[in-house]
Amino acid sequence: MSKEILRRFLENGFQVHPEALKLISSQRNPEEIVERLLKSLDSSTIVVQPENVIALISERKESEVKIIENFLTSSSSASAESFHSYFLSRYKKLRKIIEQRGIRGREISTISRVPRGNEVTVIGMVNEIRETSSGNLIIELEDQTGVISVIISKESECYERAKLLVLDEVIGLKAIKHNDILIATDLIEPDVKVHRSREIERINCGILFLSDIHVGSKTFLKEDWNRFISWLSGEYGNEEQKELAETVNYLVVAGDIVDGIGIYPNQDRELEILDVFEQYEVAGELFEKIPKRIKIIISSGNHDAVRQAEPQPPLPEEIQSLFPRNTIFVSNPSLIDIHGLKILIYHGRSLDDIASLIPSGYKNPHLMMRELIKKRHLSPIYGEKVPLAPEEEDKLVIETTPDVLHCGHVHTVGVGTYRGIYLINSGTWQDQTEFQKRMNIIPTPGVAVFMNLSDLSPKILKFV
């Protein structure tokens, strides 16, 4: 590709600086960049410089947000048929992912017809997990044909991963049948392959990730938020910090814009604004102060004025009208594309279910998010802390591998990577509440996570 780009410029009488050539080659449509450059260069130009390329691609930063998917289906009716359809959808989607992970070509046995003696591969949904007095695990596994018990020995190589299994997730197992029980030899999770996106435009364009604003709470940090807005407007920070702010073109918010009403016991005692619509009016005024060059993407959370059951729809239109016109409203979860960067936005309520598996989970939320990626499901346990809508299709399966998984909810900051996927939990703009004190949750307030498309290196920015 580089040789072809060089040839096109030479044919038109231009030489190309090596860094300019590298920049052009890294774009999603380098041919388009070349043609636009050739039209914009005048006869006095001898060598195409990097700044020529940067100036051109920067013009395209304004409207490069695509909503790949809002994760909503039809309204649910909690009938036996809808529950059956929901779990069958989950099973089929995750079975397909497991098959694509390297066991394609192996014969997969149905549970009702597992032969004795030889090693087989089965794929099923976890119905029950229990530990024996000797420390072994017994998993009850179900597919469309039947149910079987599986023993995973504490001496097995897959034992440590098996201890992180949860109810209702779909897994594969290699095992040998002995009498009427399976003895597991290996565990196959849906998981992801090493991920390398080749579609991201490596331009000087900043994205900010934040969540859990909680406008309306007495513990909403107004001064920190105003400091954040001043920074975005170029009125706060040293020269380096101001230069960083100038690159910000997108703001991605993972839910809980307001504190809501009646979310937890005695919440009214901790509210500054007792009417949820008034909370959104104030929130809209706060977001109006964000510079208009910045495109805002807002998802919903469990404190917001939408249904509690996930997936949650975008905020209703009467609330959307209170926010600036440069705001895009999406569901929870949702998958968006910014200049080729695929961002899976999920508020993160299911992290409360995963926390029991990870001893330091609330302090390191990215470790819990890693488990969601491995399980390829944003809320794998049905019937625990997260109400899930029994839709005909399970939309919480992670079918498309994202470049970024962005969550909130737990009010602590965590940034990490897993197999090429960036895991970002962006903290909160609310100080510790009395409820959080009782739950021993220590928040990380006044924080945003910054990422520039040019290097994809996340930075934690503090405004406390």
What would the pLDDT profile of 207-237 be if each residue is shown by its tens digit? Answer: 999 999 999 999 999 999 999 999 999 999 8
* Better-scored residue on pLDDT, 458 or 45: 458
- Can you tell me the distance from the alpha carbon of 398 to that of 185, in angstroms, rounded to the nearest whole number? 26
Lowest mean pLDDT among 36-45, 150-159, 380-389, 398-407: 36-45
Partners of 252 in the β-ladder: 209, 297
- Can you tell me the distance from the alpha carbon of 44 to that of 60, in angstroms, rounded to the nearest whole number? 25
Where are the chain's structural domains?
Answer: 2-58, 65-74+194-462, 106-188
Under a CB-based contact definition with an 8 Å cutoff, are residues 116 and 181 in contact?
A: no
Question: Residues 450-463: pLDDT tens digits?
Answer: 999 999 999 999 99
CATH code: domain 65-74+194-462 is 3.60.21.50
Structure tokens at 114: 């597992």
Q: What's the confidence (pLDDT) of residue 412?
A: 96
Lowest mean pLDDT among 7-21, 58-72, 79-93, 158-172: 58-72
Question: Residues 265-306: pLDDT tens digits?
Answer: 889 999 999 999 999 999 999 999 999 999 999 999 999 999
Question: Residues 95-146: pLDDT tens digits?
Answer: 999 988 766 556 788 888 888 878 889 999 999 999 999 999 999 999 999 9
Percent of the chain clearing pLDDT 90 (strictly above) = 68
Q: What's the confidence (pLDDT) of residue 62?
A: 47
Query: pTM above the 0.75 mark?
Result: yes
- Can you tell me the distance from the alpha carbon of 292 to that of 305, in angstroms, rounded to the nearest whole number? 25
* Better-scored residue on pLDDT, 36 or 374: 374
Q: What's the confidence (pLDDT) of residue 420?
A: 95
Q: What's the confidence (pLDDT) of residue 103?
A: 66
Q: What is the mean pLDDT of the chain?
A: 90
Query: CATH topology for 106-188?
Result: OB fold (Dihydrolipoamide Acetyltransferase, E2P) (2.40.50)
